[in-house]
A and B are shown apart, each in its own frame.
Chain A
Amino acid sequence: MEASGYTDHISRRFNKDIEELRNKVLAMGGLVEAQLSKAVSAIVSGDSELGLKVANDDYRVNNLEVSIDEECGRILATRSPAASDLRLIVAIIKTITDLERIGDEAEKIGYLAAKLAVMDRPPDSYSELKTLGNHVSHMLRDAMNAFARLDINDAYDVAAEDDRVDEEYEALTRQCITFMMEDPRSIKRVMNVTWVARSLERIGDHAKNICEYVIYMVQGKDVRHTAYSESSDLSPDAD
C-alpha cells in the first residue's frame, strides 16, 4: 500500500516482503484482540468452556510470534534495511514480543475465568472487571490501529490512556481488599479477581509499549520512560 511510505523501493520483492510482514503482525494483533475479548467475556458470563478455549488457543499466538520473528531475521540478514525500514523491523520485533505477552495474560485470564466460573458469583457478575477489560481491549485495539495507520497522534492518546487504566486497577484492588477484610471466606475468590485485574493492567502496559514503538517507527524518537507531555510538544513531523 502506498500510504505507509515503506513501499518505495527499487526491489519490488522487498516491498512485498515488508508488506507481508506488516500484514502478519496485524493479523497477530487481531488474534490477540480476539483472545482478550473472549477471555473478558468468559469472566463476565462465567463460561468456563470459553475460558479454557482461550487458554488452549494461546499456542496460535505463540506460533505467529515465532514465524514473524524468523521472517524479521531473514529480512535483516538478506536485505540489510536502513533508516525507516530498519526502524520498522526493529519495532515489529518488539511489538510481537508485547503481543505475545498479551496473549499469555489472556491465557491466564482464561484459566482464571474457568476457576471463577465454578465459584460463587457476585450479583453484579464482575462488572468492574468488565469495565476494566473493555477499557484495556479498547486500548489494545487503538494501539494496533495506530500501528496500521502509522498515526502518532493516536499513539500518544492511547499511551496516555494507560494512566487511567492504572487508576482503575488501583480502585479495583482497594475494593478487593475491602471485600477480603469484610468476609474472609471470599478471599479465595477475590484473590482470583485481583489476579485477573493484574493481568488486565499488564495488558494496558503492553499496549502502551506498542504505541511507543509506533512513535519510534514513525519519528525515530525514543519516548520510553519519558513524560508524554514533554515529548508530544515536539512537532510530530520532526523526523
Chain B
Amino acid sequence: MSEAARKTVLGIVLILAIGAGIGWMYGRPETGLLIAAVACLLWQIRQLLSFERALRTGDFDDFRHGEGIWEQMFSRFQFERDRAVRRKKEYRGLLREIRKSTNAMPDGAVILDADNEIVGCNRAAKELAGLRRKKDRGQRVDNILRDPELTRLLLANDYTATINMASPVGHGGWLNCRVVPYGADQKLLLMRDVTDRMRLSKMRRDFVANASHELRSPLTVISGYLDTLAEAEDMPAGWIKPVMQMQAQANRMKMILGELLQLSRLEAAGPASLDDTIDVVQLLERSKQAFEGHAHVAAIGVLAESAARLRGNQSEIETVVVNLLSNAVRHTPRDGTITLAWRSGAKGADLIVTDTGEGIDAEFIPRLTERFFRVDKGRSRDDGGTGLGLAIVKHVLVRHDADLVVSSEPGRGSTFRCRFPADRVVDVPIAEVS
C-alpha cells in the first residue's frame, strides 16, 4: 500500500474514531459514528465530483486541492495524459516529416494491396502518372494506368523486372516502373522519370545512324574511283601497292559503316516476330559449308541434338551464326576443331559454338560485346574483324529474348552459348523430321 493510500485509510479511520469518541462523550456513540461516516462520504463525493468535472472539462487546475489518494490519482492521471499529448504531437510531427520526405522524393511510389488496388501514393506519383490521391484510392492501379506491359508486370510478381512505359501525362515522357514487395501482402510500385535518359540514348542512336548514312555516299565515290584506278593499265608501278591498300581500307570502312547501320537498326527495333520459324540445323550446315575448305580453317563439325525450330528472324540468326563462326575461325589454328551445336530442353534451346583456339582471359569476357572492343590491342586489324560482330550478336539475341553466355580458358578454347527461352522454340515431332 502506498503512502497516500495509507494516509487516506488512516484519515477515514481517524474521523470515524473521533466521531465515535465525541458521540460516546454525549452517551450516543452510534449517532457520532453516523455523523462522522456521512462527513467522510461527503468529503469523498466532493473529490469524486471535482475529478469528474476536471475530466469532463479538461481543466485540471481546479483539482489542485485534491487530497490523499485522490491527489495521487490525479497527478498520475495528469502525468499520463500530458505524456500522451506529447507523444501524439511527436508522432504527428514525425508523420508529417515522413509524408514530406515521401513527397519530396523525385520517384513516384504507389502502395498497392494484394489485389493491386491503390492504398496510397506520393506526390511524384500524382505528377508522373496522373493519379488522384483521394479519388483513386481503392481502384486497381492497372485500371488507371492501362499500359498492357504494366499489367503484365503486376501479374508476374517479378520483383526484379522493370519496364518502360509512356507517361500517361504530357507527351513524350517515359517512366521506368518496377514492383517491390512491401509490408504484409502489399506491394510498392516505383516509377522513375527516364525521359531524359531515353531521349539521350535515342539521340546517340540517331547520331550513329545518321553519321554512318552520311559517310556512306562520299565513301562510295572514293572507292569507285579507287576501283577504276586499280584496273588502270598505265598505272606507275610505285602506285600499285598504295592504291590496293587504299582499296582494301575503303572496303573495310564500308563494312564498318554497314555494320554500324545494322546495329542501330537492331537497337531501334522491338522484339523479333514469333511468326516465322527457322530450321536451325539446316542453317548451321549452310554456315559450315560457307567457311569450310578455305586455307587455314580448322575442322568444323555440326552436332544436331535437336530438331526443334526457332521462332525469329532467319537472316538475323544467320548473322549470329556467321559472326560467331568467323570469330572462331580467326582464333583457332588449322589443327583445331570448331563445333556448332543445337540442343533443346524443357527450359529452352541452346545454340553453341565451341572452338579449341587461343581462348579469352576471364577479365575481358564481360566486355566482349562492347563496340570496337579488342582483347589484343596490338593485334593487327587486318584479320578481317570490324570489332562490331559480337555487339551485333548481342543485339540480335536481345531481340530474340536470348542470352549470350561466354566461357573460356586461355590456351584451351572458348564456348559461346546462345540461350533461347522455351517460348521461342517449337518442337518438331520426330516423324515429321525423318
Interface residues of A (CB under 8 A from B): 1-3, 22-23, 26-27, 29-31, 33-34, 37, 47, 49-50, 53, 134, 138, 141, 144-145, 148-149, 151
19 residue pairs of the A-B complex, CB under 8 angstroms, read A3-B135, A3-B139, A26-B146, A27-B146, A27-B151, A30-B142, A30-B146, A30-B148, A30-B151, A31-B146, A31-B148, A33-B146, A34-B147, A34-B148, A50-B270, A134-B171, A138-B171, A144-B146, A149-B135
Contact B168 A141 (CB under 8 A): yes
The 9 lowest CB-CB distance pairs between A and B, nearest first, are A30-B146, A1-B138, A26-B143, A148-B143, A3-B138, A134-B171, A2-B138, A31-B148, A30-B148
Residues of A contacting B267 in the complex (Cβ-Cβ under 8 angstroms): none
Given contacts A27-B148, A33-B146, A145-B144, contact A3 B137 (CB under 8 A): yes
A33 to B166, CA, bound (A): 11
Interface residues of B (CB under 8 A from A): 117, 130, 132, 135-140, 142-144, 146-148, 151, 166, 168, 171, 268-270, 273
A37 to B137, CA, bound (A): 27
Given contacts A1-B117, A50-B270, A151-B135, contact A29 B146 (CB under 8 A): yes
A3 to B140, CA, bound (A): 11
A2 to B137, CA, bound (A): 9
Q: How far is the CB of A86 from chain B (nearest CB, A)?
A: 21
A145 to B143, CA, bound (A): 8
Residue from the set A47, A134, A138, A148 with the largest chain B CB neighbour count within 10 Å = A148
Residues of A contacting B140 in the complex (Cβ-Cβ under 8 angstroms): 1, 23
Contact A148 B139 (CB under 8 A): yes
The main secondary structure of chain A at its interface with chain B is: helix
- Partner among B136, B269, B270 whose Cβ is within 8 Å of the Cβ of A149: B136
Residue from the set B117, B132, B144 with the largest chain A CB neighbour count within 10 Å = B144
Residues of B contacting A134 in the complex (Cβ-Cβ under 8 angstroms): 171
A50 to B270, CA, bound (A): 8
A49 to B313, CA, bound (A): 13
Residues of A contacting B269 in the complex (Cβ-Cβ under 8 angstroms): 49
Contact A23 B166 (CB under 8 A): no
Residues of B contacting A148 in the complex (Cβ-Cβ under 8 angstroms): 139, 143-144
Given contacts A27-B148, A30-B147, A145-B144, contact A53 B270 (CB under 8 A): yes
Residues of A contacting B166 in the complex (Cβ-Cβ under 8 angstroms): 37
Kindly report which residue of chain B lies nearest to residue A56, judged by CB atoms. B275
Residues of B contacting A27 in the complex (Cβ-Cβ under 8 angstroms): 142, 146, 148, 151
A138 to B268, CA, bound (A): 25
Kindly report which residue of chain A lies nearest to residue B275, judged by CB atoms. A56
Given contacts A27-B151, A33-B146, A149-B132, contact A1 B139 (CB under 8 A): yes
Residues of B contacting A53 in the complex (Cβ-Cβ under 8 angstroms): 270, 273
